[in-house]
Amino acid sequence: MKQRSVKDLTAAAVVAALYTALSLLSNSLGIAFGPVQCRFSEALTLLPMILPSSVYGLTVGCLLTNILSPYGLPDLIVGTLATFLAADLTRRCKKDRLGALPPVLYNAFLVGALLAFQQTGFGAAFPAAFCYQALTVGLGQLIACYGLGIPLLRMLRKHLRKLN
């Protein structure tokens, strides 16, 4: 197992705190959970492209946020897993537009499936509910990742270049 530096752990902790705080802000506006969930914190899901240790911070932040989920333990597990898988894949991406795609797809499919299951079980209505939930969750993710995340990532890169 790779040894983590204090710098990596600190960065992950700061990202976890930021993710949680931004999610709480989204929750106070009523947009953190539900079919169209547009968490401001999801803009941070592109950070692994420039800060690999943020994968763990995003995962912990999502876990802490999902404690508040009205969907209970399943969302705590599935939502957090979606964030971890997306962040890990985003970390490997080289292009911004491609790096924003994993959070959109993982959340659309995994969280969409969870919400559809919560509504219908695996009955006859599941496929239609899944299509609707995947579309609406994906829409919220598109807004957060492409509308907020890519501009944030580019701004951070610009400021990092000035520091170096």
Question: What does pTM read for this prediction?
Answer: 0.92
Give Cα separations from 44 to 19, 53, 58, 99, 141 (angstroms).
Answer: 7, 12, 8, 11, 11
The residue range of the domain holding 113 is 6-163
Per-residue pLDDT at 59 exceeds 90 = yes
Q: Which residues of 48-76 are buried (b: 16+ CB within 10 A; e: fewer)?
A: bbebbbbbbbbbbbbbbbbeebebeeebb
Report the CATH number at residue 104. 1.10.1760
Per-residue pLDDT at 2 exceeds 70 = no
Residue 163: per-residue pLDDT: 83
Sequence-distant (≥ 6) Cβ neighbours of residue 127 within 8 angstroms: none
Tally of structural domains, the chain: 1
Q: What is the pLDDT of residues 75-109, one digit of tens each?
A: 999 999 999 999 999 999 999 999 999 999 999 99
Domain annotation covers residue 140:
yes
Domain annotation covers residue 122:
yes
Sequence-distant (≥ 6) Cβ neighbours of residue 133 within 8 angstroms: 35, 111, 112, 113, 115, 116, 119
